[in-house]
Structure 1
């Protein structure tokens, strides 16, 4: 493991990276939020079904 080689590759990646625009950030946040809500709703539906089925 050569530290100078890895460090230079990390620096190269950081130089290429840029902060997202507000529109891009907003779109990613909306998609992530929708995914979180979808997973939560699926979990709640499974919980509700399991609580109504006796002996499950």
Structure 2
């Protein structure tokens, strides 16, 4: 019984902390959202470009060697 009471107490503490975070959060403004979208898009493009460079290095360059 003691173990289940401890688990219930831990779950209650975690839920309290989640609720506290949700109360502090707010909807981003349009400018904030657009900035986040631009940064995320730039990151996706950068990762894609790095992947493309690796692909080119592993497929095209060995033909010249």
TM, length-normalised to structure 1? 0.83
Q: Partner of 1:12 in structure 2?
A: 20
Higher relative contact order (CA 8 A, sep 6+): 1
4+ residue runs of structure 1 moved beyond 4 angstroms? none
Equivalenced residue count is 55
**Once superposed, what is the RMSD of the aligned Cα atoms?**
1.4
SS of residue matched to 1:3 = helix
5+ residue gaps, structure 1, are none
2:59 counterpart of 1:51: yes
5+ residue gaps, structure 2, are 1-6
Q: Quote the Cα distance in structure 2 between the aligned partners of 1:8 and 1:54.
A: 58
TM, length-normalised to structure 2? 0.73
